[in-house]
Amino acid sequence: MKEHNVSAYSLEGKVVFFATRNFHKFNEARHVLAEFKIATAMLSVEAIEIQNDSIENIAKASATDAFKKTGLPLIVEDDGLFIEALNGFPGPYSSYVYKTLGTKGILKLMEKIEKRDASFHSVVAFCSPKLNPKTFHGEIGGEITTQERGDHGFGFDPIFKPSNNSYCKTFAEMNTQRKNKFSHRAKALRGFAKWYKSVW
């Protein structure tokens, strides 16, 4: 078996491996899981990312592939930005669209659109030797801003303002702790953590 780069944050209690090469995601996850006294170890493994209309299917496939490559029980996370005026675009293709169009490309598409409702969806998939991928979901509604705002976060964070925050800030204008109070990813991770603590 190949060696994999593992970066761990130690706490008393359980440890969860997170297969990702995105340190921003890992950093958010370790803060959320720490709430449940679960330590997080970052597994830098390149898992397959299939093209599919379902974020859940993408996450399941990635978790299965990462588990086959490492032999370790682990989680992966996949998410997407769904914009109502664009019929849910970019949705499950958010990662590719961010790499090709970026935030400026999305703002260009939204230039003359007044109704700017959008939502972020996240799926965390857990895979182990004794369990097929089990998934946990998180969602947050909000809107697309008219310009990029903030220096924190990553991806589409500078143009997404969650609807249930009294600060009227984008994700990129929030630090990790504040973003984790609202985010789709944090919700999915908390669902996973509660289940994991109860059965593992």
123 closest CA partner among 29, 52, 34, 58? 58
Structure tokens at 183: 């985010």
Tokens 């953590």 found at: 193
* Residue 9, H or E segment: strand 5-9
For residue 78, indicate whether it is catalytic: yes
Three-state SS letters, 109-165: HCCCCCCCEEEEEEEEEEEECCEEEEEEEEEEEEEECCCCCCCCCCCCHHHEEECCC
Per annotation, catalytic residue among 53, 65, 78, 151 = 78
Catalytic residues: 78
